[in-house]
Amino acid sequence: METSERISPENITTENEYLIYLCHVFSYVAASKNIAHGSFVLDVGCGNGYGTSMLSKNSANIIGLDVDKKTINRATMKYKSKNCSFQYYDGQTLPFADSAFDAITSLQVIEHVKNEQRYLWEIHRVLKPGGIFILTTPNKTYRIGKTMKPWNKYHLREYFPYELLDIVKK
């Protein structure tokens, strides 16, 4: 399923791909500073897995999920370790028990999701009470006008901050 730009650090060929990669790395570095050492972490929309691997350095255990089986296979081959694994999921129901994770990241993903309410509800369901959810997405304020379509062909939508806050609060 082709749902997004699949950036691999070793295969960057354009300036645009490099900028996307840097944005992702920055998001993962920032997330790692906000997740307690030794947490059980879920990375929803892990892509090629380099960010999940970055978060594994401080996690007791981390699972990277993605909707593309080939991408999960590549991530597993390259980044799997004793505390870092990867798993395919259907994009609908997270395959975990309620309140399973201390922290959940989903970085540069929500703009690709068809049903963002279900996506957020599933994350809420598997996050422990008092757990941390870290979400990043492009800020529409700085990217496109109100009537313009997202520049990235894989983005179904982009959000103004107030829009994202309203959706997350629900």
* pLDDT tens-digit map of 30-59: 999 999 999 999 999 999 999 999 999 999
**What pLDDT does 144 receive?**
52
- Rounded CA separation 128/26 (Å): 25
Average pLDDT across the chain, whole number: 87
pLDDT digits (tens, 9 = 90+) for 23-34: 889 999 999 999
Q: Does residue 103 surpass a pLDDT of 70?
A: yes
Q: Is 92 exposed, middle or buried (0-12, 13-18, 19+ CB in 10 A)?
A: exposed
pTM of the model: 0.86
At 73, the amino acid letter reads N
How large is the average pLDDT for residues 112-131? 93
More reliable by pLDDT, 89 or 10: 89
pLDDT of 90 > 90? The answer is: yes
What pLDDT shows up at residue 142?
67
Q: Are the C-beta atoms of residues 80 and 86 closer than 8 Å to each other?
A: yes
42, 47, 53, 54 alpha-carbon torsion, rounded to 10°: -90
**Strand locations in the chain, DSSP E?**
39-44, 59-66, 84-88, 101-107, 127-136
Q: At residue 145, does pLDDT exceed 60?
A: no
Closest C-alpha to 90, from 65, 107, 117: 65
pLDDT higher than 80, residue 155: no
What's the pLDDT score for residue 159? 73
Q: What is the pLDDT of residue 1?
A: 40
More confident residue, 153 or 77: 77
Q: Pick the residue with more confidence: 142 or 19?
A: 19
